[in-house]
A and B are shown apart, each in its own frame.
Chain A
């Protein structure tokens, strides 16, 4: 039973447009959410996070939105750049554990 789901395995976006990556979760105890980016042959790199007390967090071109009632979060990248092409993982944790639960990832391709 997967508690964190990324239902789109891949996404293709034109350079300069907005990329929207989605993530759904089932565990209402999750209170901290993160996005990681992974290039081939490298480990995941932390991108941005959000606590459940917020519904939005912004860092430069990256914004994460959290909808607790829908158990849904999304990562917006605007404007998208070719260097953003990577696999993006959503992760979640609950306050009573040190376990980060990851989704299966969405492969983003930004084309010129």
Chain B
């Protein structure tokens, strides 16, 4: 139990589907993140939210749409994805922002397969 919970853990979707990944943190943190890990590549930052405001979008295509309704919840809405978007999507949170030297804590990830 890491304090960061992601659902679903596994998702298979077609290229025309719309689905969402959900993340909830129980650590009282005020910053949340989406990271992506593709096969044989390093973890890549997608989005950063601090105090529910998006503060970084790391050149992510618009078919990925994040939403942060409050400091405990983060969503990643998926629409018309491509097979190359198949990856492990990791949510993370921190108390304070990384630029201030704060540590981020990850959830267990959502394995996404686009067919």
Binding site for B on A (CB under 8 A): 2, 4, 31-32, 34, 36, 41-46, 49, 51, 89, 91, 93-105
B101 pairs with A43, CB closer than 8 A: no
Complex contact B101–A102 (CB within 8 A): no
Interface extent on B, as a size class?
Answer: 20 to 34
Residues of chain A within 8 A (CB-CB) of B2 are 43, 45
Chain A residues, CB < 8 A from B6? 43
* Total A-B residue contacts, Cβ distance less than 8 Å: 71
Query: 0/1 per residue, B28-66, Cβ < 8 Å to A?
Result: 000101000000111111001010000110100000000
Residues of B with C-beta under 8 A to A101: 42
| Complex CA distance for A38 and B81, rounded to whole angstroms | 27
B16 interface contact, C-beta 8 A: no
Residue in B closest to A52 when the chains form the complex, CB atoms:
B101
